[in-house]
Structure 1
Amino acid sequence: SAGPDSAADPDEIAAALLEGVRAYGLALLPWSDTAQALRTRAAYAGLDALSDTALIADLDDWLPPLLAGKRRLDAVSGEGLTQALQNRIGWDGQKTLDRLAPARLETPAGSSHAIDYAAEGGPTVEVRVQALFGLASHPMLGDGTPLVLSLTSPAGRPIQTTRDLPGFWKGSWADVAKEMRGRYPRHPWPDDPAAASATLRTKNADARRRGSG
């Protein structure tokens, strides 16, 4: 004969799943990296709507639609969870979030890099140093906090971590550039990076682009 749960009412199952989350916490849900990153940014920006306390308090508002027809919590859609978070902060909240805690750093070279708000030393971005040529001021978050720049070589190896890019350009850059010229001779290593053009290409590739332009 069929087991008892084969006849269980879908609404009863959904209600039981909801109570499970209420009792044992949000960690039971299959949060995607995107959703986790959104929550970390919101915490940094001081948007309380995505905190554990607020989400648990309003559980009945946002979770039931995601549980409809599901028999297990790990069947809940990760995209649905992300959407539910975005709906909670709304258009204005999203604008505030993008201002105070942007998701990515856009570089003068046109590359885009995710900002890690969970990093130990504060919001950190890993970026190739050449993508920042031409930048004379340090990238800041909307609240005036300097981004921690984890600068790497063309091969992605760590060079230096800095909260003061102009200071780095004027200071230890000369030594770094000297070493880099020896190690990556095909790439440009200008004496005055703040006034140079950002590029992720080799010198030859840049010259070819200029020639064809």
Structure 2
Amino acid sequence: MAIDDFYTHFNDLSSVTQRVDLLWEILVKKDQRLTRRLVYLIKHPLLVENHNRFAAVVRELNQEAFIQPLFDLITETLPQEPEWIYEYLLTLEGLVNGVDKSFQLGHQQTRVLLDWIVSPERGSKSGVASKIVLQTAKNDVSKRVFIDSIQNSILPFNIRLYALQGLTQHYDLTYMPLFEQVLAQEQNYDFKRLLAEHIDNLGNSHKDTGNHQIDDRLT
């Protein structure tokens, strides 16, 4: 249907009520029939010709129902990096940041994403995927990968930095002893310097929080 067809006679008396009701169902009520059909298209990306437009529609509707199908599609196809994958990654990032409920990724899909992200040959889309994991994957798989990556001095600097950020974001000061242990043994100057700064910042942040709590009790 061309857009002109929709607007033809839009304001005619016989059409106004019908068109307003249609818009209400789609835009306000967010008719689940539309959601189900869009989920089907997410699961079958080869049916979509313009992935940029389709991803924009999914982002605009901002439904939690789209999150798991997007994760399913992305973790199945990410290693091959199809040409449309970046738009879907961006869409997923927007959804997990925008829905009201917190979404936590399962172990198997966490493993797929992290194996791709921390691989030395990882693809150019890894930055967005990394943010998604930090937002949705606080579990035993991510914890193990982050711990192993921080301790593995052979890995590239940026992967170890990401692992450091992941453990800190998910667990705050819990792994401070691990950070200090790695610092004592670390041979890479750049990572050793960054890790020392990170430990200092964590300690100072904790002290500041404690001082604020004391101040709050006194007021």
Q: Structure 1 length normalisation: TM-score? A: 0.30
Return the structure number with greater strand share: 1
Return the structure number with greater helix share: 2
For CA contacts below 8 A with separation 6 or more, give which structure has more relative contact order.
1
